[in-house]
Homo-oligomer: A and B are copies of this chain.
Amino acid sequence: MRNFKPVKQPRISDVIFQQLKNAILANEFKAGDKLSSERDLSEQFQVSRVAVREAIRALENAGFVAIRQGLNGGAYVTDLTFEHLANACLDLFLSNKISIHELHHVRILIEPEVARLATLHTNPEWNERLLMAYKGEHPPGASLSEDIASATRVHFILAEICGNRFLEALVNSLLKLSRKIIEEIRPNPPSSIHPPGLHGPIVDAVLAGDADAAAEAMKTHAKIFYDNLVRVEKDYREHGSASYRLKDEARLQGGERL
């Protein structure tokens, strides 16, 4: 006997969202191209502006377009990145669905492999960048934010070198998560968390082209960092999540888009 599926009216905005998304995925728009205006699209689709608007907002939330206001404003197609994945992960962490322990177990699993792969893919140009990043860590007079950024740059570069964009995305998410936790929860310099020179053995091994040593050095580093991070988590638990939320709201009031 046939198994009919229940019929359910899809939302108009979802249908439009699909069509636009597929057009973008099929490369009918290059990154930087502008979609037609809401009013134009509402004529083309023969629906109200509201429906089009909701579809475009969904595209924005999914990271496909960036919306600008004003003359020459509109929905500009973006290069699909992994940014919003990291944000989604952050939400999961904040809702206590992921612990720092779980997060770090994954990191200890992944980052050594990244270091290993990176070692196999290096070339003089990359080595140069890696060394520059390492030497530029903890610049004097930097703000907390800049300091953390400089201290994690080595990780990002290795992830870029490793040649696997999925791994790169994972590392990005993991680091961003760690970083946000530190930055938001503990607003004093992270020197105790990320002491200078911690990346030395990793950089040395990569530059020397020794994949196993690089992986091992990264593993050691990740474990040390983990121990430090556990202390941060303790603080986090004591303070609760209120301070984080307040900052989140303040940033939005300041005009930052989601």
Interface residues of A (CB under 8 A from B): 5-11, 14-15, 17-19, 21-22, 24-26, 50, 54, 57-58, 61-64, 80, 82, 84-85, 88-89, 91-92, 94-95, 97-98, 102-103, 105-106, 109-110, 113, 164-167, 169-170, 241-242, 245, 248-249, 252-258
Contact: A7 with B254, CB < 8 Å?
yes
Contact: A80 with B97, CB < 8 Å?
yes
Question: Inside 8 A of A256's CB, which chain B residues have their CB?
Answer: 8, 10
* In the bound complex, CA of A97 to CA of B241 (Å): 35
Contact: A164 with B88, CB < 8 Å?
no
Contact: B95 with A245, CB < 8 Å?
no
Contact: B18 with A252, CB < 8 Å?
yes
Contact: A253 with B10, CB < 8 Å?
yes
* In the bound complex, CA of A88 to CA of B64 (Å): 11
* The 6 nearest A-B residue pairs measured at CB: A8-B255, A102-B164, A102-B166, A22-B245, A61-B61, A106-B166
Question: Inside 8 A of A7's CB, which chain B residues have their CB?
Answer: 254-255
Report copies per complex: 2
* In the bound complex, CA of A14 to CA of B255 (Å): 10
* In the bound complex, CA of A61 to CA of B6 (Å): 23
A-B contact pairs, 5 of them (CB 8 A): A19-B249, A21-B91, A88-B88, A98-B165, A102-B166
Contact: B62 with A167, CB < 8 Å?
no
* In the bound complex, CA of A165 to CA of B96 (Å): 11
Question: Inside 8 A of A22's CB, which chain B residues have their CB?
Answer: 245, 248-249
A167 to chain B, nearest CB (A): 6
Besides A8-B257, A10-B254, A80-B95, 11 other A-B contacts (C-beta < 8 A): A7-B255, A9-B255, A10-B252, A10-B255, A22-B245, A58-B61, A64-B91, A92-B169, A106-B164, A106-B166, A109-B113
Residue of B nearest to A254 (CB): B5
Contact: B85 with A89, CB < 8 Å?
yes
Contacts known (A97-B80, A249-B18); A102 close to B62, Cβ less than 8 A: no
Question: Inside 8 A of A95's CB, which chain B residues have their CB?
Answer: 24-25, 80
A79 to chain B, nearest CB (A): 9
* In the bound complex, CA of A84 to CA of B169 (Å): 16
